[in-house]
Amino acid sequence: MASKAIFSTLRRSLTKPNRAVSRRHHLSTSSAATASEPYAGDEHAIVMKGVRISGRPLYLDMQSTTPLDPRVFDAMNASSIYDYGNPHSRTHLYGWEAENAVEVARIQVAKLIGASPKEIVFLSGATEANNTVVKGVMHFYKDKKRHVITTQTEHKCVLDSCRHLQQEGFEVTYLPVRTDGLVDLEMLREAIRPDTGLVSVMAVNNEIGVVQPMEEIGRICKEHKVPFHTDAAQAIGKIPVDVEKWNVSFMSMSGHKIYGPKGIGAMYVRRRPRVRLEPLMNGGGQERGLRSGTLATQQVVGFGVACELAMKEMEYDEKWIKRLQERLLNGVREKLDGVVVNGSLESRYAGNLNLSFAYVEGESLLMGLKEVAVSSGSACTSASLEPSYVLRALGVDEDMAHTSIRFGIGRFTTEEEIDKAVELTVKQVEKLREMSPLYEMVKEGIDIKNIQWSQH
């Protein structure tokens, strides 16, 4: 009797999975279509855009944006709850408290770049700051100054603003860069004319990570008395920035590149010697008349705290990121040949590593690296199929430009993530090279560039 009971319970427990399967047939067609087949042990798999990954990829794209630091999050929470007054209301406590919070943040931002708090203007991001400076300065001095100098590797928003100015009738010189990504100072000196109204050179490039020689460029601009604008969105909090040493008149800063919130940025506008600017946003005259509109207090507070943290942690982060960069580069170079670093390795911000792998097709490499969140080219240009204009300006061949991958290392990256990224990249590149007939030919010693391909 007891054995019968045991066997019946055994039979019941063994038939349970089948009953679960038959229950699924009662699902409506739409949910049956979206319900994925259960893999053994793969309950955490994410299926999105036709790609199946077993878990969240490891984040190595710090140049496009950074995660929010918990200390910044904490400050923003308190501010969202209590500082809801309009900072520009002068008549009641709510306005005064919000204004205090904004002024504290202004001092924190100013300290990071060595400026006075009165010279900081908050706006919605580095793109708005770049637009305001490039268009605003030239529109203000449009009678006397008709020429702008910029480089070919600038951010899209600067290049697009210059194109807009060209359509209005201004002249723009796009300075070419050397193969290591740095601006040639002699060419800059020659390009400056008496009617040059602005020189715009970004401090740290977002795609290749090279650091331009800011002090020398600042000295040249001071000699010729031309205002110097720099897009320092990738530079603040990462390399030491000093507006006096660099002799900049304008600087664009962005919050979400230094572990702060998105949707906030700042513009530094020099007061001595005074440079004038036509505002892009007209209205009630807030922010010295240069950017009207109510400030988002909690975003500003978050940006301020992020800047203060960046100042405190700059040395510590730099050591850690440099260590991880060497680990990544050496790890990849040990196992693979034909790895090229785009841009100068010496004058570089350590957290940005742009590698090109020879004899590998770029799109397939990116598709295979779906467990690593990296970027190829900048986020702004990755929608189109053509290779990034920055790499083209460096003189990189089309096929190498297509296989470039940008690894972004940041404060929160761990050694295990770097090791895993190296392992995945090496595996994927080796797999693609094995399949590639071009690589076979190279291994046999044939020079690909001198082949006469027969027409079919």
Half-sphere exposure in the Cβ direction for 434 (13 Å, CA): 6
Q: How far is the CB of 77 from another protein (least distance, A)?
A: 7
Q: Which of 6, 8, 36, 74 binds another protein (CB under 8 A)?
A: 74
Q: How far is the CB of 68 from another protein (least distance, A)?
A: 9
Q: Which of 57, 85, 213, 240 binds another protein (CB under 8 A)?
A: 57
- Tokens for 52? 């199946």
Closest among 334, 358, 324 to 423, alpha carbons compared: 334
Q: Is 257 in the site for another protein (CB under 8 A)?
A: no
Q: Which of 24, 56, 222, 276 binds another protein (CB under 8 A)?
A: 56
Give the sign of the dihedral formed by CA 230, CA 231, CA 233, CA 235: negative
Nearer of residues 320 and 357 to another protein, judged by Cβ: 320
Interior angle at CA 374, CA 367 and CA 48, nearest 5: 50
Residue type, 156: K
Q: What's the per-residue H, E or C state across 233-293?
A: CCCCCCCCCCHHHHCCCEEEEECCCCCCCCCCEEEEECCCCCCCCCCCECCCCCHHHCECC
Q: Which of 54, 100, 282, 330 binds another protein (CB under 8 A)?
A: 54
Residue type, 236: I
Stretch that binds another protein, among 7-15, 67-75, 325-333, 360-368 (CB under 8 A): 67-75
Residues in 258-277 at the binding interface with another protein, rule: CB under 8 A: none
- Tokens for 120? 């900081």
Q: Is 55 in the site for another protein (CB under 8 A)?
A: yes
Nearer of residues 79 and 212 to another protein, judged by Cβ: 79
Rounded Cα gap, residues 285 and 353, in angstroms: 42
Nearer of residues 299 and 413 to another protein, judged by Cβ: 413
Q: Is 73 in the site for another protein (CB under 8 A)?
A: yes
Residues in 404-443 at the binding interface with another protein, rule: CB under 8 A: 411-414, 416-417, 420
Q: How far is the CB of 71 from another protein (least distance, A)?
A: 6
110 three-class SS: helix
Binding mask 313-352 for another protein (x = CB under 8 A): ---x------------------------------------
Q: Which of 38, 67, 283, 289 binds another protein (CB under 8 A)?
A: 67
408 three-class SS: strand
380 as an active site residue: the answer is yes
Q: Which of 70, 169, 437, 445 binds another protein (CB under 8 A)?
A: 70
In DSSP notation, 348-399 reads B-TTEEEEEETT--HHHHHHHTTTEE-BSS-TTTTTSSSPPHHHHHTT--HH
Q: Which of 9, 36, 77, 282 binds another protein (CB under 8 A)?
A: 77
How many residues contact another protein, by CB under 8 A? Answer: 24
Q: How far is the CB of 139 from another protein (least distance, A)?
A: 44
In DSSP notation, 166-217 reads HHHT-EEEEE-B-TTSPBPHHHHHHH--TTEEEEE--SB-TTT-BBP-HHHH
200 touches 174 (CB < 8 A): no
Q: How far is the CB of 258 from another protein (least distance, A)?
A: 15
Give the sign of the dihedral formed by CA 341, CA 345, CA 347, CA 348: positive
Rounded Cα gap, residues 77 and 89, in angstroms: 22
Binding mask 366-395 for another protein (x = CB under 8 A): -----x------------------------
Catalytic residues: 380
Judged by the rule CB under 8 A, the positions of this chain that interact with another protein are: 44, 46, 53-59, 67, 70-71, 73-74, 77, 316, 371, 411-414, 416-417, 420
